[in-house]
Amino acid sequence: MSSNSLGQIDLQIMWNRLIAVVEEQAQTLMRTAFSSIVREAGDLSAGVFDLHGRMLAQAVTGTPGHVNSMAESVKHFIRHFPIASMKPGDIYITNDPWMGTGHTNDFVLTTPCFRNGRLVALFSCTSHIMDIGGIGFGPDATDVFMEGLYIPMLKLAEQGKMNETLLAMIRANTRTPVDTEGDVYSLAGCNDVGCRRLVEMMEEFNLDDLDELATFIIDNSRAAVLAEIARLPKGSWRNEMIVDGYDQPIRLVATATVSETGIHVDYTGTDPQAARGINVPHAYTTAYTVFGLGCIVSARIPNNAGSLEPLTVSAPEGSILNALKPAPVLSRHVIGQMLPDMVFGCLRQAIPDRVPAEGTSCLWNLNVRGMVKGGDGGNYGFTMAVTSNGGTGARPQADGLSATAYPSGVRGTPVEIAESITPLIFWKKELRPDSGGAGRPRGGLGQIIEVGSGVDMPFDLLAAYDRIDFPPRGRDGGHNGAPGYVGLKSGATLKGKGSQTIPPGDRLVVMTPGGGGLGDPRHRDAAHLAHDVAEGLVSPDRARADYGLKPAAAE
């Protein structure tokens, strides 16, 4: 195709079409998934890659941890299954944390796409599998082998024939064999849809290959990101954060360096890897770090190999942000999802008017498990991740978002769905007043969740929470967000991490953190504060104490 103006327009149209193709791929996965965290919350990723393993387009539906780590995993698939050996009908699978998306509960499938007998692209997708055996989806393991079934780079299908031995192994190593096998087929099916739509597009535009389109996408994306970086101040900025850790606090250290050639974030000074499963493989560290950079620097530029190229990450081997096998990593999101805040803490020193205060960041999912009648061809009990979160940090020109899963981007699980597929009853799920850090713009609010067993049986909470001992920090005079809390209705306080039993007749009480505030609270717009008080988001007492509201106005 020529590079004249008409050719450029055609290429742009095909680029947009490619994004639509992978979005349909993702929607297929979400609508056919068995796991509620995928079906209801969108904990997945989908994308198309060229024959060099470069991501050309990603679906808007999906999480940064999946998408940006999957971007590297396709290169590993090509290394294990060379392009020349791929056949129509082949499907490759892994859940290797160091070659996939950071922990064994994520299955990654890659499918070669053929047109007229010629390999033209690779489709890849990821989704969270609720149970793959082991101790369950929590941080208690002391090595990765305790964390469940570990699938190396294998063929799930060879020339259209499914690997029944592998499927039998998967079914035998999960408490939910029906759901888990169903999710595997859902992943395979979504890649098939992507392949069909890509072939239709290539036929419509009379393309024999994607080489020119790939070059157009990657070169333009790279150039666009570099143009944005060129507008930034040049230099290095350092940030530190203390988080709760498993049994002792963890210190994270980041240095961001902005140069003409890109932005590099280095985590030298960060604490060593932990004994329990909150460690982060480097791919996941990279995924959330570059996402944080992209939010500030290149939010309007599509995510692909070109736009990611100028954003680089390093962390010392053996640190908690570059954990080495066989370190336990199942709850790697607890630390990994703090990394956008780490990046923001660096960049706020250079461009303070574009960077928010700290938020809850790590997901506050209710990972619950219990026994119900099953087996004999069904599931052995129930397991579910009820997705929830606290508040995000205040933004320079707006309040933080309440009960919003940033940076992961997953949606909250509807109570009705959770109650329909588990024997649990949700007695309360509401915003948590006064939890958002006071500020000129205030932090987003957390929420209060109260849940109990609807049958005369206990259930387990596989807790993986943070921001309890070290809540999200406010900035420039803004107050910290409220710390998180986990306990029982009867009064006992539970641990923020680890498997714990909720007895029948009692209730689990979870209060998620609020986001940090930004700027002096006494400079908050009076109308906004009055609205907060009227809506019950800020109590009259806190309005007086934190914002200086006069008693008559606070009533």
Band (3; pLDDT cuts 50, 70, 90): very low
Residue 25 inside a domain? The answer is yes
Q: Is the dihedral of CA 119, 125, 130, 132 positive or negative?
A: positive
Residue 346 inside a domain? The answer is no
Do both 215 and 71 map to the same domain? yes
Band (406; pLDDT cuts 50, 70, 90): very high
Residue 262 inside a domain? The answer is no
Averaged pLDDT, 486-510:
97
Residue 34 has pLDDT above 70, yes or no: yes
In terms of Cα–Cα distance, which of 396, 481, 402 is closest to 440?
A: 396
Instruction: Give me the phi and psi of 78, to 5 degrees please.
Output: -65, -35
User: Residue 357 in contact with residue 398, Cβ under 8 Å?
Assistant: no
Residue 491 has pLDDT above 50, yes or no: yes
Residue with tokens 């219990």: 370
Residue 324 inside a domain? The answer is no
Give the whole-angstrom CA distance, residue 65 versus residue 43.
9
The last residue of one of the domains, among 221, 237, 258, is 221
The last residue of one of the domains, among 221, 246, 264, is 221
Helix (H) or strand (E) holding 119: strand 118-128
Beta strands in 14-67 (DSSP E): 44-49, 55-58
Residue range of the domain that includes 168: 5-221
Q: What is the DSSP string of 192-210?
A: HHHHHHHHHHHHHTT-S-S
Averaged pLDDT, 448-474:
97
User: Residue 492 in contact with residue 461, Cβ under 8 Å?
Assistant: no
With a pLDDT cut of 70, the percent of the chain lying above it is: 97
- Which residues face 161 on adjacent strands? 158
Cβ neighbour number for residue 38 with a 10 Å cutoff: 25
Residue 371 has pLDDT above 90, yes or no: no
- Single-letter amino acid, residue 417: I
Q: Is the dihedral of CA 167, 168, 172, 173 positive or negative?
A: negative
Residue 550 has pLDDT above 90, yes or no: no
Band (374; pLDDT cuts 50, 70, 90): low
Residue 135 inside a domain? The answer is yes
Who's near 411: CB < 8 A, 6+ residues apart? 40, 41, 42, 387, 405
Q: What angle separates helix 282-297 from helix 211-230, to the nearest 10 degrees?
A: 70
The last residue of one of the domains, among 160, 192, 221, is 221
Residue 226 inside a domain? The answer is no
Q: Is 546 helix (H, G, I), strand (E, B) or coil?
A: helix
With a pLDDT cut of 90, the percent of the chain lying above it is: 94
In terms of Cα–Cα distance, which of 260, 255, 264, 265 is closest to 231?
A: 260
What pLDDT digit, counting tens, does each position of 48-79 carry?
999 999 999 999 999 999 988 988 899 999 99
Name the pTM for this structure.
0.96
- Report the domain count for the chain: 2
Residue 400 inside a domain? The answer is yes
Residue 552 has pLDDT above 70, yes or no: no
What pLDDT digit, counting tens, does each position of 203-244 carry?
999 999 999 999 999 999 999 999 999 999 999 999 999 999
Averaged pLDDT, 363-379:
83
Residue 296 inside a domain? The answer is no
Residue with tokens 């990046």: 343
Instruction: Give me the phi and psi of 18, to 5 degrees please.
Output: -65, -40
Residue 509 has pLDDT above 80, yes or no: yes
Give the whole-angstrom CA distance, residue 525 versus residue 536.
17
Instruction: Give me the phi and psi of 273, to 5 degrees please.
Output: -60, 150
In terms of Cα–Cα distance, which of 518, 472, 495, 251 is closest to 360?
A: 472
Do both 217 and 362 map to the same domain? no
Give the whole-angstrom CA distance, residue 393 versus residue 413.
22
Q: Is 1 helix (H, G, I), strand (E, B) or coil?
A: coil
Q: What is the DSSP string of 449-476?
A: EEEEESSSS-EEEEEE--SSSSPPPPBT
Q: What is the DSSP string of 272-318?
A: BPPSSTT---HHHHHHHHHHHHHHHH-TTSPPSHHHHTTEEEE--TT
Averaged pLDDT, 122-145:
96
